[in-house]
């Protein structure tokens, strides 16, 4: 009797979770799923000189393994509702709401690996809840929660699925729901949505135990206007080069997409490595495949800035901005070189010199990577990223633990210390597009007429040319003439003539005024080279030795009020490269800095009436980064 | 059910045998709490679940497995309850609550009568209206590089407006927008001026966070109030969403009402 019972149980287990079918759905036979939405009658006509649209292209819901486990219960609909301004409930029990106008475009990007699996593992009526992996991973004890996260994360990192919970039907069904929900909320002219997911590759070269720990090689995959029925996750292959191969196949089957890498800052130097995933040499075809699939990079988000690192850019006094260095899921510090976009933009020329192709000719966007369906993009209104484990000011390390008023002698929580307090209230993607539609916004991402901000809605136009005249910078029809005689950000100059940049920046009406506009030039000389010029200063100042003098803007750290009489509403400049060498490739991008304001940690300490974290900056200078303009001598 | 007919007969036979065996084996324990009745409805439910998962009904061996797993689970659960493992466990408490909420979700889709829906719409017609929108063109005068942008704006001759003033980062010609949207993008004073201006007439200088503007209204799209018929599909979906939420909240409230809630320190 006993023996029979045991056999019986085993049979049920096998019947419920075995037989994981690997269906081969080729792209050719899968019909496009996303639908073209109707153009509404009152939609404004396309603007040939383009409008700027702001969006968040990196958002998770309960369908992501690392969100559900942190008590996130918001679903796909909530991403769009939040983007339109509706309030949501945070796992911490409080209401969250977008601080600012509705977003113009948005994408939910849940992890493709185990997409939609965790909610079923926690549902007693699903067979997935009976699996061994599901036992004891859903608790209320933070240690249990983090252990569960590391356990699933281990499988994601290694790309080795837990067979009993790797149910492709569930993943495919959830992906189908991702696509249909994006379609449901797509309102051309008002809100653009994309079918998208995150490809969660992690460097798998070091042994840090059976956990998620490693270098981040994550990318978000966005489909333009039609998507295949099946997604490609790390459980198919954890080598990003295989993802690009798959994207190429999908593209030839009519499903155009782009892949957007993020958090190169914690990739352990591998995101912009100059060799292949397995350490072999890059071929011209490899370089072409990369830039074909990855035209833009998410270079600022909650988990830090990937522009540059103070050790890579010792002469950039603004480089030390929201730097975050812990590898995924562990406290180990990431290798710096190979992890930042400024260095990569320069190294791209080094590869181009050898292969004839520049694999790092990418543009910039920002996004949040929030795991609670909606992000706090402003310093005053920020609730972290993951869910229950960083739900309070204390958990985030903005307030000393245990009700203490000061940080003297308190024992600091390591997660808050190493992770959460170092995260920033960032970022947004900005695109210049003719109209707010999938086609128009996707095309702008492909041509890199995009820029990144650290969360505020700074407006930034950059044009490159060789024949701009001085009067253009103050001409009423500056933009028309710039499009006619130059290229917008993301574009390319070549041939004779000295590269010029025509720049126009304006502040976010709901944030601090602008302090300065800077040009960053990069090139390759046996190694990455860089130089920075301030090209426009607020308050009537002019640059001295390439830097704007101090404009005297200040912040009262107790009230967070900032000086109202300093800074500029808008700044313009026409800049000609004083160091141009004909025949020498270079790239130029623009960085715009606001006046200083309180960092989120300061806001939250003030609110609680406690001492600020002594080791975090009290203020930040929010900023925008343009996509580069390349000068290609050939 | 149809596809289960055969296995079910097998099951009943098997189940009967099992029950007899169980009864014989445990003749010395006859207390009521030792009686384990296998409800055929539960096994049918499990079999249906199996069929959904696998695309076919369970065969004999699998059906037997389902019965045995159920018996085993039930026995273990009872033993656990006897040991008091069910109290004071966060996970169990949360799952029970979750299950109750799901029961609430599954309540039947309600559909209102036409009159009821129409009355509901009329109370909320505001929600379905689209506010007035105005198209605006404007000339911009930057504070940067001017001693007095406001004076320059006031003095400007706008007969050839397209070539007057400074470049503006967003469009100089703004497609029709609501007042709220204009306020978000250009500030309150700009929006107010646009919605108070007489169409076709250049305004006095207006300050925005960017600098000084003179604006002219090019187009007024009046507020639109759709009829019940035009908005019907959306109204019905909203009514149902609200009815669901209300039913859930109401059933939860009724349950809570049956308790005296005492909060202790």
Q: Which domains does chain A have, with CATH numbers?
A: 51-444 (no CATH), 458-632 (2.60.40)
pLDDT in tens, A111-157: 999 999 999 999 888 889 999 888 888 877 777 778 888 889 999 99
- Structure ipTM: 0.74
A572 and chain B: CB distance < 8 Å anywhere? yes
Q: Does A442 have pLDDT greater than 50?
A: yes
Of A19 and A586, the structure prediction assigns the larger pLDDT to A586
Rounded to whole angstroms, how far apart are CA atoms A118 and A69? 8
B199 and chain A: CB distance < 8 Å anywhere? no
Rounded to whole angstroms, how far apart are CA atoms B179 and B199? 15
Q: Which residues of A touch B58 (CB under 8 A)?
A: 15
- Strand intervals (E) in A5-134: 51-59, 88-89, 95-96, 105-108
> Which helix H or strand E contains B247, and what residues bound it?
helix B228-257
pLDDT at B233: 86
pLDDT at A372: 95
Q: Which residues of B touch A19 (CB under 8 A)?
A: 54
pLDDT at B139: 97
End-to-end CA distance of chain B: 54
Taking the model in full, what pTM does it have?
A: 0.80
For residue A515, the SS3 value is strand
Q: pLDDT confidence of B8, banded at 50, 70, 90?
A: low
For residue A235, the SS3 value is coil
Q: pLDDT confidence of A2, banded at 50, 70, 90?
A: very low
pLDDT at A146: 80
Rounded to whole angstroms, how far apart are CA atoms A50 and B42? 62
Rounded average pLDDT over B141-158 = 93
Q: How many C-beta atoms surround the C-beta of residue A413 within 10 A?
A: 19
Residues forming CATH 3.10.50.40 domain(s) in chain B = 130-221
A168-181 CB burial, b ≥16 within 10 A, e <16: eebbbebbbbbbeb
pLDDT in tens, A294-343: 999 999 999 999 999 999 999 999 999 999 999 988 889 999 999 999 99
Of A104 and B80, the structure prediction assigns the larger pLDDT to A104
Nearest CA in chain A to B64: A8
pLDDT at A4: 31
| Closest approach of B67 to chain A, Cα-based (Å) | 8
Which of A312-316, A413-417, A584-588, B247-251 is predicted least confidently?
Answer: B247-251
Rounded to whole angstroms, how far apart are CA atoms B149 and A286? 54
Is A479 in Cβ contact with B143 (below 8 Å)?
no
Q: A469 is written with which tokens? A: 């005249």
Q: Does A26 have pLDDT greater than 60?
A: no
pLDDT at B17: 59
| Closest approach of B165 to chain A, Cα-based (Å) | 6
Rounded to whole angstroms, how far apart are CA atoms A481 and B207? 27
Rounded to whole angstroms, how far apart are CA atoms B33 and B81? 12
Rounded to whole angstroms, how far apart are CA atoms A503 and A505? 7
| Closest approach of A475 to chain B, Cα-based (Å) | 6
Of A8, A101, A474, the CB nearest to B68: A8
Q: A386 is written with which tokens? A: 């993951």
pLDDT at A89: 92
- Strand intervals (E) in A442-498: 450-453, 459-465, 487-488, 492-494
User: In degrees to the nearest 10, what's the CA dihedral of A62, A64, A68, A70?
Assistant: -120
Contact between A58 and A196 (Cβ < 8 Å) = no
Rounded average pLDDT over B208-232 = 92
Of B130, B166, B169, the CB nearest to A476: B166
Is A569 in Cβ contact with B209 (below 8 Å)?
yes
Which of A152-166, A519-533, B35-49 is predicted least confidently?
Answer: B35-49
Contact between B217 and B198 (Cβ < 8 Å) = yes
Q: Across chain A, what does the average pLDDT equal?
A: 91
A57: left (phi over 0), alpha (psi -120 to 50) or beta: alpha
Which of A139-148, A207-216, A586-595 is predicted least confidently?
Answer: A139-148
Rounded average pLDDT over A569-593 = 96
Nearest CA in chain B to A567: B144
Which of A451-455, A557-561, B113-117 is predicted least confidently?
Answer: B113-117
Is B67 in Cβ contact with A7 (below 8 Å)?
no
For residue A483, the SS3 value is helix
pLDDT at A208: 76
Q: Which CATH class is domain B130-221?
A: alpha beta
Picking from A2, A3, A5 by the largest number of B CB atoms within 10 A of its own CB, the best residue to mutate is: A5
pLDDT at A21: 33
Largest CA distance in chain B: 108
Rounded to whole angstroms, how far apart are CA atoms B232 and A3? 62
Q: pLDDT confidence of B78, banded at 50, 70, 90?
A: confident
Q: Which residues of A touch B91 (CB under 8 A)?
A: 138-140
pLDDT at A436: 95
Burial of B150 from C-beta contacts in 10 A (0-12 / 13-18 / 19+): middle
């Amino acid at each position: 009797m006993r023996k029979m019972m045991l056999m019986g149980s085993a049979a049920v287990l096998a019947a419920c979770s075995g037989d994981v079918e690997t269906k081969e759905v080729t792209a050719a036979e899968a019909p496009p799923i996303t639908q073209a939405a109707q153009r509404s009658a009152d939609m404004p006509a396309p603007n040939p000189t383009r409008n700027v649209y702001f969006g968040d292209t990196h958002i998770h819901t309960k369908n992501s393994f690392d969100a559900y486990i942190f008590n996130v219960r918001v679903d796909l609909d909530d991403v769009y509702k939040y983007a339109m301004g509706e309030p949501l409930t945070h796992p911490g029990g409080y209401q969250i709401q977008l601080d600012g106008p509705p977003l113009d475009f948005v994408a939910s990007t849940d992890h493709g690996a185990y997409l939609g699996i965790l909610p079923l593992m926690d549902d007693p009526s699903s067979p997935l809840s009976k699996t061994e992996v599901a036992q004891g991973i859903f608790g209320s004890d933070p240690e249990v929660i983090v252990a569960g996260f590391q356990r699933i994360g281990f499988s994601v990192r290694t790309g080795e699925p837990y067979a009993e919970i790797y149910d492709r039907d569930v993943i495919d069904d959830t992906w189908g729901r991702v696509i249909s929900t994006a379609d449901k909320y797509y309102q051309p002219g008002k809100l653009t949505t994309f079918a998208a997911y995150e490809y969660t590759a992690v460097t798998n070269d070091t042994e840090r135990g059976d956990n998620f720990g490693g270098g981040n090689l994550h990318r978000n995959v966005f489909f333009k206007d039609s998507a295949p029925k099946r997604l490609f996750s790390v459980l198919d292959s954890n080598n990003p080069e295989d993802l690009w191969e798959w994207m190429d196949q999908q593209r030839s089957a009519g499903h155009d997409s782009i892949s957007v890498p993020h958090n190169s800052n914690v990739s352990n130097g591998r995101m912009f490595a100059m060799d292949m995933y397995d350490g072999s040499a890059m071929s011209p075809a490899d370089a072409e495949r990369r830039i074909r699939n990855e035209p833009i990079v998410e270079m600022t988000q909650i988990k830090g800035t990937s522009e540059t690192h103070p050790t890579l850019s010792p002469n950039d006094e603004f480089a030390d901005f929201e730097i975050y260095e812990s590898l995924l899921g562990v406290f180990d510090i990431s290798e710096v070189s190979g992890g930042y976009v400024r260095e990569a933009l320069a190294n791209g020329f080094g590869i181009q010199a050898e292969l004839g192709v520049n694999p790092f000719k990418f543009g910039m966007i920002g996004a949040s990577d929030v795991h609670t369906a909606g992000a706090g993009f402003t310093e005053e209104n920020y609730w972290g990223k993951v869910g229950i484990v960083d739900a309070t000011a204390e958990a985030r390390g903005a307030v000393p633990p245990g009700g203490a008023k000061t940080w003297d002698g308190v024992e600091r929580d390591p997660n808050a210390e190493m992770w959460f307090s170092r995260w920033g209230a960032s970022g947004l993607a900005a695109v210049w597009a003719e109209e707010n539609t999938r086609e128009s916004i996707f095309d702008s991402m492909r041509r890199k007429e995009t820029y990144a901000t650290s969360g505020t809605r700074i407006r930034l136009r950059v044009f490159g040319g060789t024949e701009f005249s001085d009067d253009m910078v103050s001409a009423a029809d500056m933009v028309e003439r710039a499009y006619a005689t130059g290229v917008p950000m993301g574009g390319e100059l070549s041939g004779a003539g000295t590269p010029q940049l025509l720049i126009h920046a304006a502040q976010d009406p709901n944030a601090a005024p602008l302090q300065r506009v800077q040009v960053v030039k990069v090139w390759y000389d046996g190694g990455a080279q860089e130089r920075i010029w301030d090209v426009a200063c607020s308050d009537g100042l002019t640059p001295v030795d390439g830097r704007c003098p101090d404009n005297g803007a200040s912040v009262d750290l107790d009230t967070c009020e900032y000086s109202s009489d300093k800074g500029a509403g808008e700044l313009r400049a026409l800049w000609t490269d004083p160091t141009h060498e004909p025949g020498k490739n270079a790239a130029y991008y623009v960085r715009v800095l606001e006046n200083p304001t309180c960092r989120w940690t300061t806001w939250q300490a003030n609110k609680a009436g406690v001492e600020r974290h002594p080791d975090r900056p009290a203020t930040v200078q929010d900023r925008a980064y343009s996509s580069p303009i390349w000068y290609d001598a050939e | 059910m149809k596809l289960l007919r055969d296995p079910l007969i097998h099951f009943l036979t098997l189940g009967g045998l099992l029950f007899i065996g169980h009864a014989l084996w445990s003749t010395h324990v006859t207390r009521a709490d030792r009686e384990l009745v296998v409800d055929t409805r539960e096994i049918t439910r499990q079999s249906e679940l199996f069929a959904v998962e696998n695309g076919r009904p369970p065969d004999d061996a699998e059906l037997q497995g389902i019965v045995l797993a159920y018996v085993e689970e039930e026995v273990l659960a009872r033993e656990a309850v006897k040991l008091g493992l069910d109290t004071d466990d966060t996970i169990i408490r949360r799952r029970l609550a979750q299950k109750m909420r799901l029961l609430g979700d599954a309540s039947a889709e309600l559909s209102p009568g036409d009159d009821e829906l129409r009355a509901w719409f009329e109370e909320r017609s505001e929600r379905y209206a689209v506010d007035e929108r105005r198209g605006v063109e404007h000339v911009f005068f930057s504070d940067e590089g001017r001693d007095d942008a406001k004076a320059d704006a006031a003095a400007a001759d706008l007969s050839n407006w397209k070539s007057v003033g400074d470049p503006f980062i967003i469009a100089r010609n703004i497609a029709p927008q609501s007042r709220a949207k204009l306020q978000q993008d250009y500030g309150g004073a700009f929006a107010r001026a646009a919605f108070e201006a007489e169409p076709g007439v250049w305004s006095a200088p207006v300050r925005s966070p960017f600098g000084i503007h003179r604006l002219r209204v090019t187009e007024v799209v009046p507020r639109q109030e759709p009829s019940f018929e035009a908005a019907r599909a959306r109204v019905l979906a909203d009514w149902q969403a609200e009815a669901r939420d209300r039913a859930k909240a109401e059933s939860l409230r009724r349950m809570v009402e049956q308790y005296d809630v005492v909060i202790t320190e």
